[in-house]
Amino acid sequence: MIINATCCYAEVKYPTDIEVLHDTVRVSVRVIERLCRITGCSKPKTFDKAACKKFLAVAKKRRKSKSLIRKGLKQQLIYLRRNMDSMVKIISENSSGCINRLKRKEREFIKTCIKVYYQQKEMFDEKTHQCKDRIISVFQPHVRPIR
């Protein structure tokens, strides 16, 4: 039997850009904590509680204005950028061999975080809601939406 799975159902919540960014921020904080445990350095400031608080301030609103959503997106992009800078700093200060000591899934999370950041930043700057090969879930980066 030959099965072609070019299109199939996936259990993914309807993605909004701010939720994807918030999930990415949470994942990046976990990777930073793991890197700090591996290298033995102190954990840098990640502002994860502030990021969560600002995300919830937008997500809990019943009616979200465009300006509120853009403000929330900008804040999440800033938090994600800080976390990515922290990851790069930890890796550069310690040898790059600490990446090899991460689990395969954590290394994939780093790649996915970087890709999500650049996709969301591009959409934010161009004020659009679509881009090529858009990631809709940090945990399932291979899933692509179709109409």
Q: What is the tens place of the pLDDT at every residue in 82-101?
A: 999 999 999 888 877 788 88
Query: Alpha-carbon distance 89 to 105, whole Å?
Result: 20
Which pLDDT value is given to residue 99?
Answer: 86
What single-letter amino acid sits at 134? R
Which pLDDT value is given to residue 147?
Answer: 66
Distance of CA 104 to the CA centre of its chain: 17
Query: pTM for the whole thing?
Result: 0.88
Mean of the pLDDT values across residues 116-129? Answer: 94
Average pLDDT, the chain: 90
2 compared with 128, residue with greater pLDDT: 128
Both structure tokens of 136 = 């809709």
User: Helix H segments across the chain?
Assistant: 17-39, 48-59, 66-93, 97-100, 104-126
pLDDT in tens, 11-28: 777 778 899 999 999 999
What single-letter amino acid sits at 50? A
User: Between 66-93 and 17-39, two packed helices, what is the crossing angle to 10 degrees?
Assistant: 20
Which pLDDT value is given to residue 5?
Answer: 66
User: Between 66-93 and 48-59, two packed helices, what is the crossing angle to 10 degrees?
Assistant: 160
Q: Which of 116, 123, 12, 2 is nearest to 69 (CA)?
A: 123
